[in-house]
Structure 1
């Protein structure tokens, strides 16, 4: 990916940070967005720069329609182009159906669906032949093992339809769109030693949590030249969670 420019939304920690660093190791210049984790985002940028690549941290709230779209233009302004968009940003509100408020619904859908749509729309206007849109979904689009995931599963399932439609609409331009579904992954938001972690690990066929780097490796493949004939597809990196 030498000379390529990548934007990773929500790239200050977890899967986003691992993806930003992996793509920088592959030779890309990487911009990332954050909302609150400025110090963490700047630390990821330092890691990118230590690899000899250009890094950029942008504060952008994906729940804000203007900011979700404008982040793409800010990357092009800074780096001169955009080759890959990684839609990693997302929020999760879990709980019984009757406990979910309208504010919860609006927050989750604005970030997980509207923000991703608008960023993809803005990126599609900038990407050239060979461009990539890679979206991070969830294993809960394929298997919801218990109560409490209604809103989150709804929001992420919408991204499957978005990805397939993008693949159809952008294919003639040589732009690919795919979605990656992580299973239980050891991050700050869902640590492998946290409450309920043992139950999540038991739902996989390998009996453990995944790492952010394992998800990032799939994103790196889909972002690279070897995946030029791969589009409109779903990829599970879930340790057999949905098997």
Structure 2
């Protein structure tokens, strides 16, 4: 990993998160525009949205991972810090960058799709399905993030894993999770993925249900922490000292 200062790493995290929102949530918003004009939503549509997220996550891991670890998700940052794989003192900077990036990415959707992206596409903001209850939504988001974080731990954090394919594994897993859980909660499993579209929707008078935002904070943070500790428990033969490094692949030495 090329060692860079915290400011530069935070900027990279912000850019990575912005692109995740722009491309991932932007694709969801565009799909919303299409269905609003009379086209029925299909599983293929969900697959396209999932693929957009997957390729963006892959791209960011291979682009900024060597500098920042490519968390692009506050839940991942907190999960890594909870087991000493990321310094707590750097967590605030990463979180600020990620949430700022999510706002920038949401405004980027508006630039590309116009107000239709807000009114018809809701900026790709996640929301509960018609039959999904509030607590169920938290559970779904927790499970989704657990799966993602468990894969991150096994493919990117654990140095014994074969290196070079972690971006593909994590990206494809994220896509699979979206195809599974998208109908229930929108499958954000990332507080920043929800926050930016919610805020910008609100600013531009879009239709947003702020009462649901907590689901996308509580569920992912719980899921990420539980996954990190679960993986550490399974791998209990190894010790995990607090690391001052930020790269997934470097931080387990």
When the two structures are superposed, what TM-score results if normalisation uses the length of structure 1? Answer: 0.33
**Larger helix fraction of residues:** 2
When the two structures are superposed, what TM-score results if normalisation uses the length of structure 2? Answer: 0.32
**Larger strand fraction of residues:** 1
